[in-house]
Chains A and B, each alone.
Chain A
Amino acid sequence: MELNKLFAASLLSLAMVGCASSGGTTDEAATTDAAVEESQTQGVPGSRDLDVVTEEQAAMAANSLLEQTTVYFGYDRSEIRPEFKDVLNAHAEYLVANPQARAVLEGHCDERGTVEYNLALGERRANTVKRYLIVQGANPSQIESVSFGEERPAMIGSDESVWSKNRRTEIKYQ
């Protein structure tokens, strides 16, 4: 997979999360966190109807999923949100189909909370993605994880729209 494609994919995934706020599903974080959290922890509507798509369309859908290389998390959370399972399944399939492929999972946090606790939380976010990919069949030797805590934000700023983009794990193919 080409690097520029991955870059475009990460932009696309940012855009997708931006659209996600009107969706219907909620996760645990959304129900327990403060109101400010709720607007962004809601998922993408489950609109894809796999029964009617052709094989070619399915391959294209898988490709577009693979182009999403960032998954996002709820505040102080490290569980995979349901809306990102399709994306991660696509990456797991890619790793299974390409045993020589190597990925580094970079875990990140928003600026709230302490620097060190966030470093640990970032690692958990990378590791839950790692475990998920392994459960889906990827070989553990294909995946490394690293935490950058709150030190390398995707966006600079101090409101929820920025924070929600910074709580993430980025999948980077080597």
Chain B
Amino acid sequence: MMKRYLSILLMMFCFSAQAELTIEITQGIASSIPISVVPFEFDGTLTDDVDDIVRNDLERSGHFSLLEPDDMLSQPQHEEDIYFTDWRLLKQDFVVIGTIKQLENKQYQIRYQLFDVFNEQELLTQTLKGNATQLRDIAHRISDAIYEQLTGIRGAFSSKIAYVTTNSQRTKFNLSISDSDGAREKVVLSSKYSIFSPAWSPDGKRLAYVMLEDSGSKVYVQDIATGKKQLVSAHKGINSAPSFSPDGNKLALVLSKDGNPEIYTVDLKTRHWTRVTNHYAIDTEPNWMPDGKHIIFTSGRTGNPQIYRVNITSGYIERLTFEGSYNARARLAQDGRFLVLVHQERKGAPFHIASLDLVRGLLQTLTSDTELDESPSVSPNGVMVMYAAKYNKRSILAAVSVAGDVKFLVPSKNGDVREPAWGPYLN
């Protein structure tokens, strides 16, 4: 397949001093949809450029190629000003126009319309309201709606990501959350201790994570809005790898208090612990399946790490990966049809992110440009995988589509970024 390299550096956070991440698209799909998002009408200046955010969202998805506003023959803001022949001439399939009005009480009203150029027909229109700080949320919601209208897949631009940043001396660690484009970074927790394995609660309100203190690893759950953190697990030995149950009431995690790492579940209200695995090899990296009845995990029981699925009630264990010398840290995508995981083809080969089609049994390596790829995390719509990797000797975040056809890098301006966790839908 023809791969098209865009190599566009998009600076996305002109107005946010805290933001550290940038997006660099390295590969989009060959058959991307040509679309124009015309600058929205507004009399005055705004802190966030709504149509610019929409253009960046759609471009980053890899499914669209966006026409630069400077290349437009005209910039209509109202339906009656659209000359469809202009857009046909520019080989555009779709056009988005919009207007922003300032209302009383510092509120803004944003109205946009999506048109099919060929049929000269309106496909979608919405009117949204919010204050200045909500303009970015509104922009992402517009992107979500356009994406869903044109691809049939729910958009995930409104979702958040969590990740850990660290300085090069590894003496300071920040657990942060941001928009899925890296904007509006907010530090949730700062520590001199290493923080890893952040996991979102299904409602997006809490984060579970591991803090590696001098006495060993401990698992905490923190409320994002209040910042209040709760110690969940501090047993003797390893306390690690938390994963929320689909109902948000339990955590699956790893304890080694019995002598070696085993998968446990704990009810967060009753603190009732249940042991799930029992094997002398390493069992770790549990991830709860959407049915709530199974957990996938990594085990070294055949001598090297492979992915397994356990039925929580019966304890029945099934091996899922057979190809490669190292398969670990699996996450489910698209309602459990795919696994994405860290894959090493053979000893000494590079670590990359791979997908495994559980129905067809097909393993596909998705990444190639980055090194030491790890910590894959899937977007809530199951389309993209964000992961951590080494690139130019630094730890950065990068993303690749589950289909392998879209890629982008998310380098930070300073320090290392690790351990991404893509949050759930928030509405």
Contacts and interface: CB of A to CB of B under 8 A. Distances in A.
B298 interface: yes
A170 interface: no
A158 B393 contact: yes
A124 B261 CA distance: 9
Contact of B329 (A35, A116, A124, A127): A116
B194 A152 contact: yes
Most buried by A among B254, B284, B390: B284
A120 B212 contact: no
Contacts of A24: none
A116 B372 contact: no
Given A119-B217, A147-B238, A158-B390, A113 B194 contact: no
A120 B285 CA distance: 10
Given A117-B285, A120-B282, A151 B256 contact: no
A119 B347 contact: no
B414 to A, nearest CB: 16
B187 to A, nearest CB: 19
Interface string B232-267: 000001101100000000000010100111000000
Contact of A114 (B260, B285, B393): B285
B81 to A, nearest CB: 54
Contacts, number: 101
Contacts of A43: none
Interface in B343-358: 346-349, 351
B216 interface: yes
A112 to B, nearest CB: 6
Interface in A113-132: 113-117, 119-121, 123-124, 127
A34 interface: yes
Given A114-B298, A115-B196, A151-B194, A120 B254 contact: yes
B375 A114 contact: yes
B197 interface: yes
B374 A123 contact: no
Contact of B305 (A117, A151, A152): A117
Given A34-B348, A112-B372, A149 B212 contact: yes
Contacts of A33: 347-348
A146 interface: yes
B368 interface: no
Given A123-B238, A158-B393, A116 B197 contact: yes
A123 B196 contact: no
Interface in A51-77: 75-76
Interface string A133-155: 00000000000001111011100
B348 A35 contact: yes
B372 A115 contact: no
A32 B346 CA distance: 11
Nearest to A78: B282
A152 B194 CA distance: 9
A83 interface: no
A156 B169 CA distance: 9
A70 to B, nearest CB: 18
Given A113-B326, A114-B285, A114-B298, A148 B212 contact: yes
Given A33-B348, A114-B298, A115-B419, A124 B282 contact: yes
A113 to B, nearest CB: 7
Interface in B194-231: 194, 196-197, 212, 215-217
A35 B238 CA distance: 32
Contacts of A127: 259-260
Given A120-B300, A148-B212, 12 more contacts: A32-B347, A34-B347, A115-B197, A116-B284, A120-B282, A123-B256, A124-B260, A147-B216, A147-B217, A151-B194, A151-B212, A158-B393
12 contacts: A111-B372, A113-B351, A114-B305, A115-B197, A116-B254, A117-B285, A119-B217, A127-B259, A146-B215, A149-B212, A151-B170, A151-B194
Interface of A: 32-37, 75-76, 111-117, 119-121, 123-124, 127, 146-149, 151-153, 156, 158
